[in-house]
């Protein structure tokens, strides 16, 4: 649109800046700044003029400059291990919703359960000087932790409250969740417990649940008669084929299979439907997460609702509180609820 070969001061159609707005409104730059940010430091009439000028010029503030100049950053780094699992999508949704309403933008990174990638992500996100960080850690390296500490900003570790957080934690106790399920199932009279899980190394929370489950069984004088963990991320298909394999390999048939999560368990239900195994009469199944799909099954799944949206919103709340100079609780357990269902 504009002439492009102006010899020196060639401004190749720059976006309007605050000083242009200020000029248009006939005030100083700083007054325009204050007017647009609100806060009542500017006479209403002046503020009005500035707003009009800004709109007329289609002014979009440059937050890079704002944050660099010392204003608050309004970005929040978010690191999740995966998005394939709808669990994290739910958390992210809750988180984004709250942050957005408070004027913050999440900057996202997916670690794929890879601690090295996680570390790189932290480094990258930190280079944007976010106001805070939310992370669902997957076996954080020492270096990762050090980076976060050194950055000196609010950090919320989500999903898990079993470990002591670097700064703050919001989640549930997966250890307790495993125990709770074990107690429930013991109460229902099951005897031969099997476990079917996905790639166990990377999903520490699944491991914690299994640990809790085992511990509770142990305390009741029972133990797992079979424990199969498969390669690859959790999925319905993996649960389906996995259950087939588990049953084929069984020395004694289990009367209950505890799955690492609902995706897997739903797959298990499908296998039973296909193989003509009556649930829970011939075989009982239990999962974890309380996904909608599990509850929509013809036979609703016995599982534990993990309150994912609450984790997201609570994480946001904690962060925002800290931005406001408050001191929220160091560790917040959003709790879980056992859903009896009909599969166990």
What distances in angstroms separate CA 314 from CA 171, 213, 307, one per listed residue?
9, 27, 11
Rounded Cα–Cα distance for residues 230 and 228 (Å): 6
Q: Which is nearer to DNA, 15 or 191 (CB)?
A: 15
Phi, psi of 337 (to 5 degrees): -140, 130
Q: Judging by beta carbons within 10 Å of its beta carbon (0-12, 13-18, 19+), is residue 262 exposed, middle or buried?
A: buried
**Interaction residues for DNA, span 67-126 (CB under 7 A):** 68-71
> Least distance from C-beta 274 to a copy of itself, angstroms?
5
Q: Judging by beta carbons within 10 Å of its beta carbon (0-12, 13-18, 19+), is residue 215 exposed, middle or buried?
A: middle
Q: Which is nearer to DNA, 70 or 187 (CB)?
A: 70
**Interaction residues for DNA, span 4-63 (CB under 7 A):** 14-15, 17-19, 27-31, 33-34, 36-37, 40-43, 45-46, 61-62
Q: Which is nearer to a copy of itself, 178 or 268 (CB)?
A: 268
- Binding residues for a copy of itself, rule: CB under 8 A, are 13, 15, 58, 60-65, 67-68, 73, 75, 78, 82-84, 86, 89-90, 92-93, 96-97, 100, 103, 105-110, 121, 123-129, 146-147, 150-152, 235-237, 240, 266-267, 270, 273-274, 292-293, 295-298
Q: Which is nearer to DNA, 46 or 222 (CB)?
A: 46
Q: Which is nearer to DNA, 22 or 194 (CB)?
A: 22
- Tokens 């209950």, located at residue: 256
Rounded Cα–Cα distance for residues 313 and 326 (Å): 17
> Least distance from C-beta 319 to a copy of itself, angstroms?
15
Q: Which is nearer to a copy of itself, 147 or 224 (CB)?
A: 147
Partner whose footprint covers residue 57, from DNA, a copy of itself, none (CB < 5 to 8 Å by kind) = none
Partner whose footprint covers residue 70, from DNA, a copy of itself, none (CB < 5 to 8 Å by kind) = DNA
What distances in angstroms separate CA 242 from CA 120, 257, 296, 341, one per listed residue?
34, 11, 22, 22
- Tokens 């609703």, located at residue: 300
Partner whose footprint covers residue 151, from DNA, a copy of itself, none (CB < 5 to 8 Å by kind) = a copy of itself
> Least distance from C-beta 317 to DNA, angstroms?
23
Rounded Cα–Cα distance for residues 39 and 311 (Å): 32
Q: Which is nearer to DNA, 68 or 220 (CB)?
A: 68
Partner whose footprint covers residue 17, from a copy of itself, DNA, none (CB < 5 to 8 Å by kind) = DNA
Does the bond joining 294 to the residue before it have cis omega, within 30 degrees of 0?
no
Rounded Cα–Cα distance for residues 218 and 125 (Å): 43
Q: How many DSSP H helices and E strands does the chain contain?
A: 13, 12
> Least distance from C-beta 64 to a copy of itself, angstroms?
5
Q: Which is nearer to DNA, 8 or 281 (CB)?
A: 8
Rounded Cα–Cα distance for residues 20 and 33 (Å): 11
End-to-end CA distance of the chain: 70
Q: Which residues bind DNA (CB under 7 A)?
A: 14-15, 17-19, 27-31, 33-34, 36-37, 40-43, 45-46, 61-62, 65-66, 68-71
């Amino acid at each position: 649109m504009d002439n492009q070969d102006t010899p020196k001061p060639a401004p190749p159609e720059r976006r309007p800046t605050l000083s242009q707005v200020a000029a248009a409104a006939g005030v100083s730059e700083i007054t325009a700044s204050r007017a647009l940010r609100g806060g009542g430091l500017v006479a209403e009439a002046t503020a009005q003029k500035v707003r009009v000028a800004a709109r007329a010029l289609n002014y979009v503030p440059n937050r890079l400059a704002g944050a660099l100049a010392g204003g608050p950053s309004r970005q929040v780094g978010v690191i999740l291990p995966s998005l394939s699992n709808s669990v994290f999508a739910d958390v992210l949704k809750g988180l984004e919703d709250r942050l957005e309403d408070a004027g913050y933008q999440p900057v996202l990174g997916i670690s794929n359960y890879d601690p090295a990638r996680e570390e790189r992500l932290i480094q990258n996100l930190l280079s944007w000087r976010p106001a805070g960080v939310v992370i669902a850690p997957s076996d954080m390296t020492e270096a990762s932790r050090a980076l976060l500490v050194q950055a000196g900003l609010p950090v919320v570790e989500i999903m898990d409250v079993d470990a002591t957080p670097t700064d703050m934690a919001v989640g549930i106790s997966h250890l307790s969740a495993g125990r709770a399920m074990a107690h429930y199932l013991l109460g229902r009279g099951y005897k031969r417990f099997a476990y079917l899980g996905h790639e166990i190394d990377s999903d520490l929370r699944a491991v914690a649940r299994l640990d809790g489950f085992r511990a509770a069984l142990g305390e009741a004088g029972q133990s797992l008669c079979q424990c199969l963990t498969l390669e690859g991320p959790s999925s319905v298909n993996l649960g389906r084929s996995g259950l087939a394999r588990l049953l084929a390999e069984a020395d004694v048939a289990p009367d209950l299979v505890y799955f690492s999560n609902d995706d897997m368990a739903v797959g298990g239900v499908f296998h039973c439907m296909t193989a003509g195994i009556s649930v829970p009469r011939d075989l009982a199944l239990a999962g974890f997460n309380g996904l909608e799909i599990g509850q929509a099954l013809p036979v609703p799944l016995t599982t534990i609702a993990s309150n994912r949206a609450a984790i997201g919103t609570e994480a946001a709340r904690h962060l925002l509180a800290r931005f406001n100079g408050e001191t929220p609780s160091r560790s917040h357990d959003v709790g879980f609820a056992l859903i009896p269902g009909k599969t166990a």
